[in-house]
Amino acid sequence: MGKQSLNNPSIFTKMSQLAQSLGAINLAQGFPNMPIDPRLKDCIANAAQSEQHQYSPYQGLPELRYEIAALIERNGTVAVDPNEVLVTAGATQAIYTSVQALVSAGEEVILLDPCYDCYALPALMVGAKVRHVALNENYLPDWNKVEAVITERTRLIIINSPHNPSGRVWEEHEYKALASLVEKFPRLLLLSDEVYEYLAFDKPHFSVRNVPRLKERSVVVSSFGKSLQATGWKMGYLTAPKEILTSILYVHQFLIFSVNSFLQKGIATYLRAFNPDRVRADYAHRKALFTAQMKPSKFELLPCEGTYFQTVCYSNISHEKDLDFAERLAHEVGVAAIPVSAFNEDERDLKHLRLCFAKTEETLTEAAQRLCSL
């Protein structure tokens, strides 16, 4: 098994525990500490008062799948049929279930490092091999390197934009290059993790669904944890063409059968009036505030085009390993961050830390002041 799959507990748990034990500000784990939209709370409260408390249809409540399809369409990506939507217990379950359903023992899955930590395990659990290909030093894909590892055994490539941890957002040409690359391999599928789809700031989010040659072989994963700022509910969904979805549904029904019924109902009501532009504007404001406050610091701020993560380089401050530096930062400065090497199978260390700015203005101001003291 690879390094990432053996990390127990994960770097997120480790740094959050450290933050808690030291009373440090936790910019490590990606969760908002702001209140959620009160209208969303009302929708959930009303749903809790309804009689929607038994198993929902295993693919998800039809009214929620309809609202998800409508949301996708009005936000500029190619429409999907509500029958191509599966409601899941967060993006994590969507990813786990998809990989388990689509990949078999002896096949290969390509991951682009640094990448989110839940991608490798489901592949390793079915006896597949995971091939890690490094993104370039700007955290963008090097398609020649990807092509070099594709074989007849490659079943799945997992991609992620807006990208955690770097905050980079891929443009259309990246998808076009990918489309040309995968054309020669008819069995090769894509899993596109688009959980930060509504958090692209400097340029629009481009979904893999917008390239028809890719849409027909892609599973696209979304998270209500990110879009509704409610990470603790573990609610999300995926979309996939019918044939691919049929395989995923087979695993889904035995893994979980169906997800929380009244949350589905409440979210369906809320989505009718949900405007992702407001979420994006809110995070753009927090990002602007945090970057302005970090300007006097010795940290170099790397481009953050999307997500709620700001990656910083600390090579002007120290040459310590990023994990050591992150631990020292938590102890001495009182701010917890994620060392980016934790997202790399080979632990490549560019002296980069990931800071989460999905925090109240007070938290961000205090954290920036502490980081500027270095």
Ligand X SMILES: Cc1ncc(COP(=O)(O)O)c(C=O)c1O
Residues that bind ligand X (CB under 6 A): 30, 90-92, 116, 160, 164, 193, 195, 223, 225, 231, 234, 236
Task: Considering the complex, state which of residue 82 and residue 306 has its C-beta at the smaller distance from ligand X.
Answer: 306
DSSP H or E stretch at residue 70: helix 62-74
Shortest distance (Å) from residue 225 CB to ligand X: 4
Task: Considering the complex, state which of residue 94 and residue 333 has its C-beta at the smaller distance from ligand X.
Answer: 94
Shortest distance (Å) from residue 37 CB to ligand X: 18
Shortest distance (Å) from residue 372 CB to ligand X: 27
Task: Considering the complex, state which of residue 223 and residue 293 has its C-beta at the smaller distance from ligand X.
Answer: 223
In this structure, what token pair is assigned to residue 214?
A: 């890719």
Shortest distance (Å) from residue 160 CB to ligand X: 5
CA–CA distances in Å: residue 313 to residues 28, 272, 298, 358: 15, 41, 9, 19
Task: Considering the complex, state which of residue 100 and residue 293 has its C-beta at the smaller distance from ligand X.
Answer: 100
Task: Considering the complex, state which of residue 43 and residue 228 has its C-beta at the smaller distance from ligand X.
Answer: 228
Task: Considering the complex, state which of residue 65 and residue 234 has its C-beta at the smaller distance from ligand X.
Answer: 234
DSSP H or E stretch at residue 66: helix 62-74
User: Measured at the alpha carbon of residue 135, what is the angle toward residues 133 and 140, in degrees to the nearest 5?
Assistant: 145
| Helix, strand, or coil (residue 242) | helix
Which residues partner with 87 through β-bridges? 237
Shortest distance (Å) from residue 27 CB to ligand X: 14
Shortest distance (Å) from residue 209 CB to ligand X: 17
Gap between the Cα atoms of 284 and 267, Å rounded: 24
Shortest distance (Å) from residue 236 CB to ligand X: 4
CB–CB of 354/340 below 8 Å?
A: yes
| Helix, strand, or coil (residue 87) | strand
DSSP string, 259-328: --HHHHHHHHHHHTT--HHHHHHHHHHHHHHHHHHHTTSSSEEPP--BSSEEEEE-TTT--S-HHHHHHH
Shortest distance (Å) from residue 42 CB to ligand X: 22
Gap between the Cα atoms of 211 and 220, Å rounded: 12
Shortest distance (Å) from residue 10 CB to ligand X: 11
Task: Considering the complex, state which of residue 30 and residue 82 has its C-beta at the smaller distance from ligand X.
Answer: 30
Task: Considering the complex, state which of residue 71 and residue 333 has its C-beta at the smaller distance from ligand X.
Answer: 71
| Helix, strand, or coil (residue 176) | helix
CA–CA distances in Å: residue 158 to residues 36, 51, 133, 161: 30, 39, 11, 10
The residue of the chain with the least Cβ separation from ligand X equals 90
CB–CB of 103/156 below 8 Å?
A: yes
Secondary structure of 269-288 in HEC code, one letter for each residue: HHHCCCCHHHHHHHHHHHHH
Provide the b/e sequence for 78-108 (b: ≥16 CB within 10 Å).
eebebebbbbbbbbbbbbbbbbbbbbeeebb
Task: Considering the complex, state which of residue 92 and residue 311 has its C-beta at the smaller distance from ligand X.
Answer: 92
